[in-house]
Structure 1
């Protein structure tokens, strides 16, 4: 009985944070990233409690678990698309795991999938040189790179000419941005990589808050990268509420994990492609990258 109460209280605390929209500190932010797993556990705990006639525990836990499950289910179903009839754009993002990810695989994925814009996170100076030798710039000749040692570097490579901009707020890791002219349609791109909430939750919220919102009267905006956030974080949902469409959610692929590429810790979805609400998402995929702890994400878009 005591064990059931302890488990029930633990579940209800996390569920309450998810339902009221509070990320809290770095511990609760980490736990919230595991909300789908917690929800399954809550459903099992509620059913188990009812089976052994612990009616109050089972009833409350099961009701709350079902409420949380109701917030999760929509990410498995595709949404309606806006009427977009402009140019097609393929955007890919890959976290390079401190510059260790296999460069030749990235270049092959770019060629095979006809990628137009590639965002690279945790890009090191050494790996930037490897990309040049591997022929990335033969395919994507334009770039705004800010390579750094450790995990702080990032970059954008593009099929279209780029004009460097400064769209994201101050951040500990590089978050370069640029404007591309895609067959007459201006597109602003940000390579997103805020600090993880498990390192500093307050700084993470600040950096997420510094990302630009969509501008319905201006250029199309695309944010792609490692957000260190799942849809179960209120901080990330605040960004979506500003008007962005998450490509994975839009195509009903919201449960596809992107980190880690192994099975432990439990995989979660922290890499995203967010697009202007005027943009149609034609397809979304998650791709394996050898030697990276992340999987790459690829979205095929139609511009307005």
Structure 2
């Protein structure tokens, strides 16, 4: 006999309630003891867990969709043109969804979040790291570009930048006849005596000033009445464009924005090319990456300053800053440095790049 007490037999006719939970047997010192658990697991817990999982996926899916659109370059329409400029902010926010999934041990969602964050990192982070600098040599070439905001930018600040930075080329956007007159009166032609351009009332004019002789290479690139001046410096074997396609503020402007960017000269054979100004686009727009792929490099990206916002300057627009102003340099040109400068009276910061033309240093 085992010595264990025999449970009393059940009386016939006794009402039976819910069956108790099966006993748990615990061994202790050669004897066994039965512990009866009478507390069932909470019925609502699995449901809450499902809802948490659903909410994590709801948070993650928009980031995944954004990463797919950015990576594939698919044209999702007018609103996507506007939204794509803010990709660096979305990339940073995607980390929150990933950390939430991992902290709550939703491993499938966590893996998806890692893939999404990796796609964003691949697209955005290289702009924050400088490329290896090429060996010195060649002819220095300094480029300054500024959007004057309907000619309203402070003339003294522009002239101070010209004196301090000593640009060889100055490209201006939204150059009005009045702004051109103020610059002439302030002595712009003493520093940069040569000019090609079309000062025009409103937002449509542009101009190119240079230390060396220029000639108009062709009529200004004109889509939506935005005149992007084009000039050639024969002695330097250089073609320059003051870039300013129309801003995609409204649905009907999306076409001329794309046309203005696609009409910019491609890099490659022929003269060295520089595109400088207000592109109204960032490197997160596929059309900009297509242009770079022809043989340009973005000076800010190359020098690790590609995430510095250039628009809007503080107080102009209630949106986070984005990088709309660029200096695209022919890949045959070395890029030495890049900087951004505040200019009162305009919503855009001026951009400055130091380049180098192959050849004998001066």
| Corresponding residue of 1:226 | 278
C-alpha offsets along residues 183-224 of structure 1, whole Å, 9 cap, x if unaligned?
A: x422110000011234322322222111101133x2111110
CA contact (8 A) 1:94 1:294 kept: yes
Judge which range, 91-100 or 18-27, deviates more. Answer: 18-27
Aligned length: 301
Structure 1 pair 208/158, CA: closer, same or farther in 2 (3 Å)?
Answer: same
State the match for 1:190 in structure 2.
Answer: 241
1:46 is matched with 98
Given that residues 92 and 117 in structure 1 are in contact (C-alpha distance below 8 angstroms), is that contact kept between their aligned partners in structure 2? Answer: yes
The Cα offsets for residues 72-113 of structure 1, whole Å up to 9 and x where unpaired, read as 111112224556733211100001111111011001100111
List runs of 5+ in structure 2 lacking aligned partners: 1-51
Which segment is superposed worse, 48-57 or 22-31?
A: 48-57
For 2:187 and 2:220, the matched residues in 1 are separated by 29
Distance 1:41 1:167 in 2: 44
State the match for 2:322 in structure 1: 268
In the aligned structure 2, how far is the partner of 1:123 from the partner of 1:169? 15
Query: CA RMSD, aligned part only?
Result: 1.9
Secondary structure, counterpart of 2:301 in structure 1 = helix
Summarize deviations over 1:154-196 as a string: whole Å, max 9, x none.
1111111111112764422010111114xx4221100000112
Partners in 2 of 1:208 and 1:30 — Cα distance?
15
Partner of 1:248: 300
Q: Which residue of 2 is the match for residue 282 of structure 1?
A: 336
Which structure has the larger Rg?
2
Rounded to whole Å, the distance in 1 between the matches of 2:219 and 2:102 is: 52
The 5-angstrom pairing of residues 40-119 of structure 1 reads 40-81=92-133, 85-119=137-171
Greater RCO (CA < 8 Å, at least 6 residues apart): 1
Q: Secondary structure at the match of 1:174?
A: strand
| CA distance, structure 2, for counterparts of residue 106 and residue 272 of structure 1 | 17
Quote the Cα distance in structure 2 between the aligned partners of 1:303 and 1:269.
26
CA distance in 2, matches of 1:134, 1:4: 60
Which of 203, 210, 218 is the equivalent residue of 2:263? 210
The alpha carbon displacement at 1:303 in A equals 0.3
Q: Which residue number in structure 1 is paired with residue 73 of structure 2?
A: 21
Structure 1: unaligned runs, 5 residues or longer: none
Paired residue for 1:12, among 51, 64, 87?
Answer: 64
Q: Counterparts of 2:140 and 2:275 in 1: how far apart (Å)?
A: 16
Once residues 96 and 114 of structure 2 are traced to their aligned partners in structure 1, the CA distance between those partners, rounded to angstroms, is 8
